[in-house]
Structures are given as C-alpha cells and as structure tokens.
C-alpha cells in the first residue's frame, strides 16, 4: 500500500477536544445533501446491523440523517437489502471505552445483529496510546463478537506520520492482522476517500462533511453488503 497523506491527523489536538464535547453546529451542506432522501420501500426480512465506534460513526457535526450508519442504511436499501442499522457510535471513544460498553450495547440489541461494523482506534492513536493496548482491546472486541456468532466489518485507521515511523510500524498492522485472525472484512483505511479533499471535510479538518460521508459510503457499501450472512432462499 502506498503511503497515504494523512493531513487531517495533523489536527489531532482539534479532534481530541472536539470528540470529548457535544457536537458543534453542523457546517452548511450542499442543497443535494440538505434534501431528505425519499423513503426506499424494500421487501424481505430486515437485516439488523450494529455500527459500533467513535465520532466517525456517531455523526459528529452532521445533521440528522447524515451520519455514516444512516447513509449506509439508505445505500443498502437502494440495493434491495432491507437494512436496519443501529448507530452505537460515541464521540471520543477509545478502544478501551468501546470494550467497556460492548456487553451493554450487545445486550440492548433486539434481535441480535447479523453484522457489526467496528470503527475504533483513531482516538487511541491521536492520544499516542500504546499500540499494544489498542491491539489488546480491539482483539477483545472481535473475540466477544465471534463468541456471539456476529461477523464483523473492521474499519481500519492509519497512524499519523508526525507520530514517527516506530509508532506507525506498531499501529498500522493492527487492523489487517486482527481482521485476518478473526475472519473480519477489512476496510484498510476508512477515511481514504476524503483525505486531502478539503471540500469533503468539515472545518476542523478531521470529520467528513455530509458529502464526504457519501463518498465513504460509496467506497464501502459493497464490503458491507458482501459481509452480510447469506440467507437461504
């Protein structure tokens, strides 16, 4: 994989302060993004998906209906998949915080999700937490989901170059290695579609705009659709 310009992570202090506070008013969206999409009628049984992670799933700075889980649900329904995605994203969550609330979150899902989408680790990296700690927590999350028979789409993150090559060598392999070990579908770098594209990022240079979310959904919807367990016809 070629090195990815990770300009948005130069604003790591901004991310950490923003993620631990209530979301600020959403940036002005384009007319297309501001219009509510029509309800898409879909036949067939509902496919329940859990989106579990941090502010990148919670929809920081976005209007209702613009978060990644909400837009992904619409994209899946447009493909004829009767998706119902529960958004369990919490701004500011580290892998440790995610692991701490995982059992409660799973216990509140009725029925049990058929698939989990996991986006955690970015805040660990931005706080320069030890990669070994991130790995341990993520592995515990994946192991817990496997115990419940819930397949996973793991949304990967890359270390900011300003943290140095040693940190990157320890952090970057976490996602592909754990995805392989636990048979998870890997999105190598969740923010790849919006990096170095200012029109797709909010003013904090960290969180995607509504249009940026749509670009990420377009890049990942196939991974999610393919990860759903196949049902007998």
List % helix, strand, coil for the chain (3-state, nearest 5): 45, 10, 40
Q: Where are the beta strands (DSSP E) in 108-200?
A: 115-119, 152-155, 185-187
How crowded is residue 179: how many other Cβ atoms within 10 Å of its Cβ? 21
Q: 54, 67, 91, 207: which one is catalytic?
A: 207
Q: In whole angstroms, what is the distance from residue 128 CA to residue 160 CA? A: 10
**C-beta separation of 228 from 82 below 8 A:** no
Residue 207 falls in the annotated catalytic set: yes
User: Which token pair is 120?
Assistant: 């955690």
Angstrom distances, CA of residue 77 to CA of 123, 135, 169:
31, 33, 39
Length of the chain: 233
Active-site entry in 55, 67, 91, 119 = 55
Distance CA 231, CA 22 (A): 40
Which member of 128, 204, 205, 223 is catalytic?
Answer: 204
205 has catalytic annotation = no
Is residue 20 annotated as part of the catalytic site, yes or no?
Answer: no
Q: What is the DSSP letter of 38?
A: P
Contact yes or no for 69/89 (Cβ under 8 A): yes
Residues 92, 55: contact at Cβ < 8 Å?
yes
Please list the active-site residues.
Answer: 55, 204, 207
């Amino acid at each position: 994989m070629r090195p990815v310009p990770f300009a948005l992570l130069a604003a790591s202090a901004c991310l950490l302060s923003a993620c631990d506070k209530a979301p600020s008013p959403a940036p002005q969206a384009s007319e297309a993004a501001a219009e509510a999409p029509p309800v898409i009628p879909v036949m067939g049984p509902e496919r329940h998906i859990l989106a579990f992670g941090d502010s990148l799933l919670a929809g920081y700075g976005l209007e209702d209906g613009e978060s990644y889980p909400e837009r992904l649900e619409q994209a899946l329904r447009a493909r004829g998949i009767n998706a119902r995605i529960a958004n369990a994203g919490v701004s500011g969550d580290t892998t440790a915080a995610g692991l701490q609330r995982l059992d409660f979150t799973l216990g509140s899902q009725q029925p049990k999700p058929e698939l989990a989408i996991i986006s955690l680790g970015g805040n660990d990296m931005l706080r320069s937490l030890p990669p070994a700690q991130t790995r341990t927590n993520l592995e515990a999350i994946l192991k817990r989901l496997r115990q419940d028979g819930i397949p996973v789409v793991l949304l990967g993150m890359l270390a900011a170059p300003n943290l140095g090559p040693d940190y990157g060598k320890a952090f970057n392999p976490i996602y592909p290695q754990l995805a392989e070990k636990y048979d998870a579908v890997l999105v190598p770098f969740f923010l790849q579609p919006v990096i170095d594209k200012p029109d797709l990022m909010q003013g904090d240079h960290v969180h995607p705009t509504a249009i940026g979310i749509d670009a990420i959904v377009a890049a990942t919807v196939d991974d999610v659709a393919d990860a759903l367990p196949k049902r007998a016809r």
